[in-house]
Amino acid sequence: MSPKTLTAVAPQIKTALPGPNAKRLIAADDRLISPSYTRSYPLVAKRGRGIVIEDVDGNEFLDFSAGIAVVSTGHCHPEVVSAIQKQAAELIHMSGTDFYYENMLALAERLTKIAPMPGPHRFYYGNSGTEAIECAFKLARYHTKRQNVIAFYGAFHGRTMGALSLTASKPQQRRRFMPLVPGVTHVPYPNLYRRPKGSDGRQYAIDCARFIEEKVFTSTVPPEEVAAIFVEPVQGEGGYIVAPEEFLRELRRICDRHGILLVDDEVQAGVGRTGKWWAIEHAGVQPDMVCVAKGIASGMPLGLVITRADIMDWVPGSHASTFGGNPVAIAAALATLDVIEREGLKNSAEVGRYVLDRLSSWPKKHAPVGEVRGRGLMIALEIVKDQETKTPDPETRDRIIQMAFERGILFLGAGPNSIRISPPLVVTREEADVALEVLEQAIAATKRP
Ligand SMILES: Cc1ncc(COP(=O)(O)O)c(C=O)c1O
């Protein structure tokens, strides 16, 4: 990639897509790699810098997926690359479960200053979002000595057996894997766009939370046997659905009343994506545990749990992971936090607001756009067959994403029929303008007769 393209605002599509090299690699992938992956379109990435991804045929795309909301500082941010290189030359691994090293503590001390609940805190290090959830699930049972947990319809918490038991996003994610971990009850998540016609949004949000107390606790699960409620403050994979603040506050009240832990899954929404360090902060709610992954290390595998220190009362041998808290991943996280603190937080709030403003007129202008929603740079457009009936239109959503790809912009779907806009937190307004222009053209091109 030439230095000029490092600041490129316009995508550069030079071949038919997929190009010849991409075709060859995709054929090999078809033979060799697990068919369980869900590739939306044939992008074969070669290198990335900032918002730009260059494919194996020299085509350049603007990445408005950030590798599924992971490369928060952009691709290969120079400060992150330099921190990785320096750490890799010094110490790549010395399992933190059996030995000690310094940067594990440096990251814990850094996170303790920005955690969404007051300290003292303790930290568990793993390698992914699902591992952070497994840790929180096991710790919630261990600490409370209670077996049951509550999670929400539409939630995505990961794919290992414990996390999958909490996940209730798409049936394919669970098909033929049951029985899962027992003791999980799913309850409705307040999707304001799809609330009962004529109902008041605020009341509906509160009612969703109260369903737990008024229905679940009075009919199937005694509250004193519930260890935790797991919640995403913005459902990610479920469709970028923002939980109303009243809902999160009501969950906090219910947890306090019954001695239940509130576990905040910030794997996708955390680390600045919504314009604050943590999405739950928008509601002024303090969780008991926070699960973090994706954006924390700009693409290096790292997942972690922040808890109130008194909760982490398990003993040696209860839980650990060989690679968890790898020194190189932690070095990347420390550099990532520097960049986000310096520019990402403010930019995510500002450019996010700008994008949302620009999109706000789209439901009026474009019939397939049922709703525009989001916070910071976690934004979605819901694509429907009919704005009145709100019937989901996954086929049109997929066509729009495909057309945007062909015009050089990378988006991903979320939920059954939404398009997610989740660029790196350092994206500029000019880059956003280019992406939205393409997105709008793609939507307009799907016009029904
Ligand atoms: C909110 C949330 N929790 C957990 C996970 C699982 O993370 P991972 O894929 O790193 O295991 C994801 C992944 O998309 C997520 O969005």
**What pLDDT digit, counting tens, does each position of 179-230 carry?**
999 999 999 999 999 999 999 999 999 999 999 999 999 999 999 999 999 9
Cα–ligand 1 centroid distance for 346 (angstroms): 24
pLDDT of residue 9: 81
Buried b (16+ CB within 10 A) or exposed e, 258-297: bebbbbbbbbbbbbbbbbbbbbbbbbebbbbbbbbbbbbb
Residues above pLDDT 70, as percent of the chain: 98
Instruction: Report the atom number in ligand 1 closest to the C-alpha of 303.
Output: 10
- Give the Cα separation of 413 and 395 in Å (integer): 11
61: Cβ contacts below 8 Å, ≥ 6 apart: 11, 13, 43, 52, 53, 54, 55, 405, 408, 409, 410
Give me ligand 1 centre to Cα 173, in Å.
Answer: 13
Q: What is the pLDDT of residue 5?
A: 43
State which ligand 1 atom lies nearest to the alpha carbon of 235: 1
Q: Which atom of ligand 1 is nearest to the CA of 293?
A: 10
Q: Which of 127, 267, 304 is the best mutation target for the ligand 1 pocket, counting ligand atoms within 8 Å of the beta carbon and taking the most?
A: 267
In degrees rounded to 5, what are phi and psi of residue 439? -60, -40
Distance 66 CA to ligand 1 centre (A): 14
Assign residue 299 a region (left: φ > 0; alpha: ψ between -120 and 50; beta: otherwise).
Answer: left
Amino acid letter, residue 321: S
Question: Band of the pLDDT at 448, cuts 50, 70, 90?
Answer: low
7 pLDDT above the threshold of 90 = no
Q: How confident is the model at residue 19 (pLDDT cuts 50, 70, 90)?
A: very high
Q: How far does residue 164's CA lie from ligand 1's centre (Å)?
A: 10
Which residue type is seen at 51? I
Can you tell me whether residue 445 is helix, strand or coil? helix
- pLDDT tier for residue 8 given thresholds of 50, 70 and 90: low
Q: What is the pLDDT of residue 6?
A: 44
In the prediction, which pLDDT does 447 show? 79
Q: Report yes or no: 377 and 425 within 8 Å, Cβ to Cβ.
A: yes
pLDDT category of residue 97 using cuts at 50, 70 and 90: very high
In whole angstroms, give the CA distance from residue 154 to residue 414: 11
CA 298 – CA 345 distance, rounded (Å): 14
Distance 191 CA to ligand 1 centre (A): 20
Which residue, by CA, sits nearest to atom 10 of ligand 1?
Answer: 129
Cis link prior to 120 (omega < 30° from 0)?
Answer: yes
Q: What is the atom index within ligand 1 of the atom nearest the CA of 237?
A: 16
Q: Which is the CATH superfamily of the domain at 3-76+343-445? A: Aspartate Aminotransferase, domain 1 (3.90.1150.10)
Largest CA distance in the chain: 66
CA of 157 relative to ligand 1 center, distance in Å: 5
Please give the number of the atom of ligand 1 that sits closest to the Cα of 128.
10
For a mutational test of ligand 1's pocket, the pick from 36, 167, 266, 268, i.e. the residue with the most ligand atoms closer than 8 A to its C-beta, is 268
Closest residue by Cα to atom 7, ligand 1, is: 129
**Domain-wise residue ranges, the chain:** 3-76+343-445, 94-325
Q: How many CA atoms lie within 13 A of 418 on its CB side?
A: 23
pLDDT for res 373: 98
Q: In Å, how far are 186, 326, 345, 371 from 422, measured between CA atoms?
A: 27, 26, 14, 17
Of 70, 128, 130, the residue with max ligand 1 atoms within 8 A of its CB, to mutate for a pocket test, comes to 130
Q: How far is the CA of 156 from the centre of ligand 1 (A)?
A: 7
Phi, psi of 357 (to 5 degrees): -60, -45
CA 96/CA 61 separation, integer angstroms: 38
Q: Domain 94-325: give its CATH architecture.
A: 3-Layer(aba) Sandwich (3.40)
* 88 neighbors 330 (Cβ within 8 angstroms): no
How far is ligand 1, taken at its centre, from the CA of residue 238, in Å? 11
Q: Classify 376 in phi/psi space as left (phi over 0), alpha (psi -120 to 50) or beta.
A: left
Q: What is the position in ligand 1's atom list of the atom closest to the CA of 160?
A: 11
Q: What is the mean pLDDT of residues 350-361?
A: 98
Q: What is the pLDDT of residue 449?
A: 58
Instruction: Give me ligand 1 centre to Cα 89, in Å.
Output: 30
- Nearest CA, atom 3, ligand 1: 157
Ligand 1 pocket at CB < 6 A: 128-130, 133, 156-158, 232, 236-237, 265, 267-268, 293
The alpha carbon of 388 and the centre of ligand 1 are apart by a number of angstroms equal to 33
The residue type at 360: S
Residue 155: the pLDDT is 98
The pTM for the full model equals: 0.97
CB atoms within 10 A of CB 109: 11
- 386 CA → ligand 1 middle, Å: 31
Which of 128, 157, 230 has the most ligand 1 atoms within 8 A of CB, as the residue to mutate? Answer: 157
Q: What is the C-alpha to C-alpha distance for residues 320 and 282, in angstroms, rounded to an integer?
A: 32
In this prediction, residue 404 carries a pLDDT of: 98
Instruction: Answer yes or no: are the C-beta atoms of 234 and 379 closer than 8 Å.
Output: no
